[in-house]
Structure 1
């Protein structure tokens, strides 16, 4: 299985992100959306989870996969390509940058924060932009 994680990388907000101040995503119709689940997982536990952990755990929660079936489900899930966090609405719509440390663990930084600017200007890590929401 190919390693999907980023290491020593900062994902900047997309070029067409509509906000200049980060927003916390909200549940819709009483249901937690993918951005809400991603936000809660990363914001409440900075540098605890890798990209693979976040992408799979959100999938598992939304599909109500029981804990005892998660390992097998994870292997099956990653046996085909999966979108990375560059496609996350947190970076595309809500104004959050994501820093992946040398171990691949991720944390969120608001686009307006000093920390965000430091990561953008840090030459010791790789910087990539989140995917655009619309075509150029």
Structure 2
């Protein structure tokens, strides 16, 4: 399996992101959206999960499985999930719509950084050793 994680990277919000700061996403129709799932994972555990962890756990949470998978089943599901190409977190609704930057440390673990914070401004301006990328736009330029 190819390593899909980012290292020492900051994903800044998309140029067309409507949120002026970090907005906490809410469930719609009684169901947790991708944004809600990813926000909960990252807000509750900064610098604990990698991009691969977040992508897989988000997908897994949205599956209607009859029972929680065993460790062996999880490993098989994860291998199958990553056997096909996946969109990276630059396409996540968090930096595209909700105003959250994503900071990846040297181990590829992610922390949320709200757009309206001093830390965000410093990271977006450039920090030595940290690559800055923009989230993907929602609309064509």
TM-score (norm 1): 0.97
Helix, strand or coil: the match of 2:11? Answer: strand
Please identify, of 56-65 and 86-95, the stretch whose mean Cα deviation from structure 2 is larger.
56-65
**Aligned partners of 2:120, 2:64: CA distance in 1, in Å?**
34
> Are residues 1:94 and 2:98 paired?
yes
> Following superposition of structure 1 onto structure 2, how do residues 73-112 of structure 1 map, counting pairs within 5 Å?
73-112=77-116
Please identify, of 110-119 and 87-96, the stretch whose mean Cα deviation from structure 2 is larger.
110-119
Q: 1:123 aligns with which of 116, 119, 128?
A: 128
**Aligned partners of 1:104, 1:78: CA distance in 2, in Å?**
17
TM-score (norm 2): 0.93
**Aligned partners of 1:101, 1:64: CA distance in 2, in Å?**
33
Following superposition, the deviation at residue 123 of structure 1 comes to 2.9
What's 1:27 paired with? 27
Q: Which runs of 5+ in 1 are unaligned?
A: none
What's 1:67 paired with? 69
CA RMSD of aligned residues (A): 0.9
Following superposition, the deviation at residue 30 of structure 1 comes to 1.0
- Write out the 4+ residue segments of structure 1 that deviate beyond 2 Å after TM superposition: 64-67
